[in-house]
Chain A
Amino acid sequence: MTFGTEEIVKSCLQNIYEELGIHNEVNNATIIYGPEEGINSLSLVRLIVDIEEMVLTNSGKNIVLADDRALSMKNSPFYSVTTLSAYITTLIHEQ
């Protein structure tokens, strides 16, 4: 069972892009927070807050996107739309 996590991530990231004046289209392969591309740490914080709120609204699940690998350049769950969506799905299913 899924809660449309990819749609939530893409929607929230698109909003951040609009706030930043970035005109790229977000898709599953979009890099969110990587070593050479992606949004900055402040925007990442804002994205996390927005995603947690939207997940609660859509699924009733109060997840906490906190992970020791957040600032890792190798295997961060915040690296791309795909990795973050998978991470959120895991958290939702753990509850």
Chain B
Amino acid sequence: MSNKGTILITGASKGIGKSLADHYLGIGFKVISISRSPGPEKENHIQYQADITNEEEVRQVITQLKQNKITIDVLINNAGIASMNFMVTTSFAKATEIINTNFLGVFLITREISKMMIRKNMGRIINISSVSVPMHLEWQSVYAASKSALEEFTRIIAKELAPFHITANILGPNPVDIGLIKNIPVKNLEKVINQQAVKRRGELQDIIHCLDFFMDEKSAFITGQSLYLGGVF
């Protein structure tokens, strides 16, 4: 039985999300995950299969959570899709998919989970963005725009939810050797890393350190903030 609290992580079937789920399970949290293709069953890990851009599927998950009397202490909106392309060769279908997943999906999950947190009068929301936003990276116009929308959304809900003792913050990792960057050419990654103050790829522990900071009870006074890894500003 877990006693550290309950974390909901979206996009936890692979990449950074999966690594985070394994980490928090390993140190005693109960983990709820929502993804399109759940992985193997584990103790204290409840997995739901749903497309976060589908309101009906999200509502079904929320209904099951409520019926099972599960409440969420920490929400990590990790699910996202990346795409590198020239703006002029980006299809409308791909642009729509990116916006839907990286912004509207987060909106849907956050709207419903924040209601659980409002009832408890406490909670932590951490939205995973990207250094693509402050770095204004070429070939990531739609991706960075979707994350910019997410960041502004986070800052405003930080104000709306603060009276209920819920914080909402943004973590923007730089390239990490897991997850979305695996299909990006090394040359392009090096170009990004060379623009950082600290010129190395990120590691999972860098991300966990920041998440732990936002999740900490003592971080109640920290909300609406963006934290980028690697010295990006």
Question: Residues of A at under 8 Å CB distance from B?
Answer: 42, 45-46, 48-50, 52-53, 56, 62, 64, 66
Chain B positions within 8 Å of A53 at CB level: 66, 119
Bound state CA distance, A5 and B66, in angstroms? 20
Contact with A along B115-156 (1 / 0, CB 8 A): 100110000000000000000000000000000000000000
- Considering the complex, give the chain A residue whose CB is closest to the CB of B119: A49
B59 touches A45 (CB 8 A): no
Neighbouring B residues of A64 by C-beta, 8 Å:
59, 111-112
| Interface of B, helix, strand, loop or mixed by DSSP | helix
Looking across the interface, which residue of chain B has its beta carbon closest to that of A64?
A: B59
Interface presence of B62 (CB below 8 A): yes
Give chain A residues whose Cβ lies under 8 Å from the Cβ of B63: 56, 62
A62-B62, A66-B111 known; 4 new pairs, CB 8 Å cut-off, are A56-B63, A56-B66, A56-B67, A64-B111
Residues of B175-221 whose CB lies within 8 A of A: none
Chain A residue with the shortest CB-CB distance to B60: A62
CB-CB under 8 A from A56, the residues of chain B are 63, 66-67
The 4 closest A-B CB pairs, nearest first, are A62-B63, A49-B115, A49-B118, A42-B163
B residues near A (Cβ < 8 Å) are 59, 62-63, 66-67, 111-112, 115, 118-119, 160, 163-164
Q: How far is the CB of B161 from chain A (nearest CB, A)?
A: 9
Task: Specify which chain B residues have a CB less than 8 angstroms from the CB of A46 in the assembled complex.
Answer: 118, 164
| Given A62-B59, A62-B62, A62-B63, residue A52 in contact with residue B115 (CB < 8 A) | yes
Q: Are B118 and A45 in contact (CB under 8 A)?
A: yes
17 A-B interface contacts by CB (under 8 A): A45-B160, A45-B164, A46-B118, A49-B115, A49-B119, A50-B119, A52-B115, A53-B66, A53-B119, A56-B63, A56-B66, A62-B59, A62-B62, A62-B63, A62-B66, A64-B111, A64-B112
Closest to A42 in B: B163
B69 vs chain A, min Cβ distance (A): 11
Complex Cα gap A42–B112 (Å): 16
Q: A48 to B103: give the CA distance in the assembly, Å.
A: 24
Q: Which residues of A contact B160 (CB under 8 A)?
A: 45
| In the bound complex, CA of A88 to CA of B112 (Å) | 17
Minimum CB–CB distance for B90 against chain A, Å: 30
Minimum C-beta distance from A90 to chain B (A): 17
Residues of A within 8 A of B164 (CB): 45-46
**C-alpha gap A48/B118 in the complex (Å):** 10
Q: Cα distance A5–B101 when bound, in Å? A: 35
Nearest CB on A from B66, distance (A): 6
